[in-house]
Chains A and B, each alone.
Chain A
Amino acid sequence: MTSILETFSNGLGISLVVFLPLVSAVFILFIPKKQEFLIKIATLGSSLVTFGLSLIVAYQFDYDNAHMFQLGNKLTWIESINSNYEIGIDGISLPLLLLSTFISVLAIIYSFEHLPEPVNPKGMMSLILILETGMNGTFVALDLILFFVFFELVLLPMYFMIGIWGDRTVRSVAGFKNQIETRLYASIKFFVFTLFGSAFMLLGFLGLYFRGSKTFSIPELIELGTSGAFTGTFATLVFAVLFLGFAVKVPMWPLHTWLPDAHTAAPTVGSVLLAAILLKLGSYGFVRIALPILPEQAKAWAPAIAILAAIGIIYGSLACLAQTDLKRLIAFSSVGHMGFVMLGISSLTSIGINAAMIGMVAHGIITGLLFFISGSMAHTYHTRDMDRLGGNMKLLPKTGVLLGFTAMASLGLPGLAGFWGEFMALLGAYNPLPGLNITVFRTSMVAGAIGTVLTAGYLLWMLQRVNLGEPKEEWIGQDLHDADNYELAAWIPLVILTVLIGIFPKIIFGSTNDAVISLVTKAFGG
């Protein structure tokens, strides 16, 4: 047993976590289409094993050395460009890796009985698994090319999920003469937008490669970057393109417009994974790549990021107030919440980046849950129009209670997970890294604080319109199904996690704090 664990710590464990879903997806392709149950069970089994493996990885992780890359390995991959299969995790990536494997399990449990039309478990399940490989891979990759491959791998399954199972409503879009099906518009927008960003990102990677010592290895580049190897116009340009790549994914204002459309159009599981994990890839990229490799540029750009984040917070919240579409509202709320994450990152302090880390995890859990619930409601009511909904607490009591709880969590209620990200981000923004423009950051902090009020406003208003009041005429006597066991099995773990992280944030900080402090010390000298 020990020897197995040893090989595990030698990169096998993480590699399995990354590739097991992909391998399972290939196997699932060989199961005949009619064996739906077998497909579902196999998928669930695979994701559970992956989750179990990630737990073993978390168990093996040495939390006293959380700032070092651990449990990884480095194998020759593409020799000609010195790109290696280099993987490993540290305190920053570990929580996100666990979140990713965990949410995938829940997404699959949910999909057992709630597949979107046209029902095709084989396609859906294998796409989820491929997606999981992409997500897990991004969090463990320590080689820029490898990172890029996984980063892009995520796009395809999501594109298909939105494009195939998305919302078929035909609507008109500003600037287009003809009306267009929402799913087509959204999937193309999502794909092109993110590809646009990542194309630039690749340019940045290549720039680092050629200007550095012809290496794609992130740890090596961090060493180079923190010792001041990248300077001048070149570094500014590289940071700019990296910023573009990651900011699209986060998404930061004004590059966010793909998000509401993609979320609204995506099937439930798609929007859950999109909100819970995919958005984290961008902010993770900032913390993992952009900040430590280009610290001076990060300092130069930080005020701009803070301003954009603050605008994002206010803008997202205001946009939420104008929505009548439930899922679109939640999508815009993501813009606001990710604004807090970016505000934390932009402060370049250990407090701010820690805040960003817990903010990412909390947003993943809470917004994931919100999308689960809203997707399920959209499925039950066949509408997402909040003007038509109402009295949900009476019609679907379980769903209603959970929606209320999650909305409370989402508005940053202390004692629940969402609070830490918001509060700590503001804490970080009040005292940014010495040398940064304090006025900008404090203004952003105040804007963020006002944003919390607006957040409370739109979420409570949403609750009032959707959950409270008497049910509308059209729903009375209708056969509406409240949350079933599969849904509850997917949702309750998230609820529990929300409470746990809320009252005991050490779950996250215990892993991230050392790593973040080391990062900040290394890159910014304190």
Chain B
Amino acid sequence: MVVNYNINLLAEAKASYTDGGIFAEFAWIIVVLPFLAALLITFFGKNLPLKGAEIALGSVFFIFLYSCILFYLNITKGVASEFFVNVGSIGSFEIEFGWVVDGLSIMMYFVVGTVSLLVFIYAINYMEGEIRYTFFFTSLTLFAGSMLVLVSAPTLLQLLIGWELVGVCSYLLIGHYWEEKENSSAAMKAFITNKVADVGLMIGIIILALTTGTLRISEILYQATHDYEAIKSVAYIAGILIFIGAMGKSAQFPLHVWLPDAMAGPTPVSALMHAATMVTAGVYLLGRLFPFYQGIAHQALDVVLIFGVITLFSAGLIAIVQDDLKKVLAYSTVSQLGYMVTAMGSGAYTAGLFHLWTHAFFKALLFLGAGSVIHAVHTNNMSEMGGLRKEMPRTFMTFIIGTVALAGLPPLAGFFSKDEILASLNHEGHNFFFIIAVAGAFITAFYMTRAVLLTFYGEYRGHGHPHESDSMMTTPLMVLAFFAAVAGWVNIPGIYTGFTNWVTTRKNGIIEHHPESFDYFALSSGLFAGLAGIGLAYYIYQVISNPENGDEKIKFQPVWRVLENKYYLDDFYFKYIVDPIKITFAKSVDKFNTEILDRFINNFGNVASFLGRIVYDKLDQGGIDKALNLTSTGTDTLGSKVKLIQTGKTQQYIMYFLTGVIVISVLVLLVL
């Protein structure tokens, strides 16, 4: 059943890689394991000492180890192979699942494995005593599995399956506290927004599959890179449609609205799914199909670029006005995803994935840090925090590292990845977009500094006495802080570009510009923007005022209101899309059904019964039946007379009988 797929794609792939040997061949284990673990947790979890968390942790730990091994293999030798399992054929189509083990997917395995492991450890403590603890871990494990299904997909179909499965897990986890209607609504919003985007993805996949005659990604890419006519004709539309799918999952404007609402879920969920892994699926998809986009669908890539830039800027602006700490981070995530998409759009494959890589660590760190704070103060609102740096030193320190990394100051991770994106924009000559991206960097630095100041500086404005979280929670923070600090050092132009090699080790070659050294113009602009953002925020919230009322200084009403209302996008969706469908259309269809169609049918019944009444009254009752009844009454009358001869006396009967015999006999005799 397992087929190592080895057609002649080797020629154009990167110079040196291996098929990964036995570890690649058995990589399916890490995909299947979480599902088994989820089953085990469901059935046995409640009776275990940690209520199932140990199974989840064990499986994730295994994934982590396995991905480390694969990661090591990839660093040292370079791995690129894919495996297929046939699960049925339909028409001439082979439906296949399988797994890809190459640089791109291994990078994702590693991110998923590492962040999952840390988040799981963190969650054991964070979720302690919470409702549906076991189910939480079931879903989380399921999510890890689904994410691995997604990133290991060698066929578009499996990709779609993983794509939707992570969506469901996201639904389950966002709606974890479903007693509150708000939370279940947020979960629904996330699912349906994604589903809308999935329609694009689905149609895109259908178009690609039917034009190329295969669902295998590598084959589609082969055709794309060899300028097959068929795929060329649909490249633009398919590229756009698939990007719509990516827009949903990776929260690109205008489909980003679900991500901030998704913060209704528990914080570890936000850290794992809505920062590090799931939301990067769109970027991953663009990366996976990059040869396609880069070659024949480059027009679609321009659209990608535009939406990425819009997202990175618009979402960053909203982050400034948020009071909810998690929402600041959520909008920040949207904005950073915008950066990644921008990178992809500008043709910088490595830069986009590099930002994905660094962002996964520092954003997970920030979310977990925020979770630690929220755990301590029991509120999400920054207006009820403040001054926490003394009470929560470790959280504070790690949070600062994350913030600095996000703001893009050297030598932390964000600096390198953001710089590459800016450099790529500069190199490609997208000057306007370059300026916006730099402005975005400024905004990023500004809102993060604002968030830090509001949370950790000034006076404590909340209730109770917050204290530092347990070491179970702070240890992952520190590990992530370490990664946030060093993750960027794996791709320093001119010094060490290992990451480029890692993610370009794949069967379908990537052609892109790899800078020999830093683009000093881009570097300085980015650095300056970051420093300016931090400085301005410090000036506003610390120097000319204090964290409590710093917002007042920059409340430029019209803009502020638009931002607070998220550009009225939600209102627009509800007023012009959701409500009309849910209320107007649905109600009118239902009315049409019951009032018109049914009435039509029922009137048939009425007509039939009216005709029936006429036939019955006039023809049947008045005619035939009357005649019949006359017969019957006549018979009755006659009978009542004739019955008198029925005396019941046997002898009389015999007499009648014999008289008859005689009469008949006489008649017979006379006639004969």
Contacts and interface: CB of A to CB of B under 8 A. Distances in A.
Interface in A414-430: 414-415, 419, 423-424, 426-427, 430
Contacts of B185: 464
Contact of A408 (B168, B199, B600): B168
B581 A454 contact: yes
Contact of B585 (A318, A423, A503): A318
Interface in B158-185: 160-165, 168, 171, 175, 178-181, 184-185
A438 to B, nearest CB: 12
A456 B206 contact: no
A10 interface: no
A468 B206 contact: no
Nearest to A408: B168
B603 A351 contact: no
Contact of A414 (B164, B188, B209): B164
B593 A319 contact: yes
Contacts of B196: 453
A175 B178 contact: no
Nearest to A193: B601
Interface stretch (B86-94, B326-334, B362-370, B454-462): B86-94
Given A173-B598, A464-B184, A505-B95, A427 B209 contact: yes
A318 B594 contact: no
B157 to A, nearest CB: 8
B595 interface: yes
A417 B401 CA distance: 47
B199 A415 contact: no
A397 B328 CA distance: 36
A414 B161 contact: yes
B563 interface: no
Given A322-B586, A468-B178, A469-B181, A460 B91 contact: no
A318 B586 contact: yes
Contact of A321 (B93, B97, B157, B581): B581
A257 B593 contact: yes
B435 interface: no
Contact of B91 (A173, A350, A450): A350
B91 A349 contact: yes
A491 B622 CA distance: 57
Contacts of B175: 468
B602 A322 contact: no
B602 A173 contact: yes
Given A175-B599, A426-B202, A469-B179, A354 B91 contact: yes
Given A319-B589, A506-B88, A423 B202 contact: yes
B606 interface: yes
Interface stretch (A39-47, A149-157, A283-291, A509-517): A509-517
A321 B206 contact: no
Contact of A430 (B157, B210, B605): B210
Interface in A339-369: 349-351, 354-355
A189 B188 contact: no
A516 B90 CA distance: 9
A480 interface: no
Given A318-B581, A414-B161, A454-B581, A445 B590 contact: no
A431 interface: yes
A460 B585 CA distance: 18
B649 interface: no
B463 interface: no
A431 B93 CA distance: 13
B606 A175 contact: yes
B88 A510 contact: yes
Contacts of A355: 90
B589 A315 contact: yes
Contacts of B199: 449-450, 452-453
Given A323-B590, A415-B161, A174 B179 contact: no
Interface in B518-573: none
B195 interface: yes
B392 interface: no
A259 B23 CA distance: 54
Contact of B601 (A189, A449, A467, A509): A189
B587 interface: yes
Interface in A319-345: 319-323
Contacts of A174: 594-596, 598-599, 602
A464 B179 CA distance: 10
Contacts of A506: 86-89, 95
B652 to A, nearest CB: 47
B641 interface: no
B606 to A, nearest CB: 6
B582 interface: yes
B306 interface: no
Given A414-B165, A446-B203, A176 B602 contact: yes
A513 B210 CA distance: 18
A344 to B, nearest CB: 10
Given A426-B206, A453-B196, A254 B191 contact: no
A37 interface: no
Contacts of B597: 254, 257
Interface string A498-510: 0000011111111
A234 interface: no
A77 interface: no
Interface in A443-492: 445-446, 449-450, 452-454, 456-457, 460-461, 464, 467-470
Contacts of A254: 597
Most buried by A among B90, B157, B199, B599: B90
A455 to B, nearest CB: 9
A469 B206 contact: no
Interface of A: 173-176, 189, 192-193, 254, 257, 260, 315, 318-323, 349-351, 354-355, 391, 393, 408, 413-415, 419, 423-424, 426-427, 430-431, 445-446, 449-450, 452-454, 456-457, 460-461, 464, 467-470, 503-510, 513, 516-517
**3 pairs of A and B residues whose beta carbons are closest in the complex:** A175-B602, A506-B88, A321-B586
Given A513-B89, A517-B91, 14 more contacts: A174-B594, A318-B590, A322-B590, A355-B90, A391-B179, A414-B163, A414-B165, A426-B206, A449-B199, A456-B192, A460-B188, A460-B191, A505-B88, A506-B88
Interface of B: 86-93, 95, 97, 157, 160-165, 168, 171, 175, 178-181, 184-185, 187-188, 191-192, 195-196, 198-199, 202-203, 206-207, 209-210, 581-582, 585-587, 589-590, 593-603, 605-606
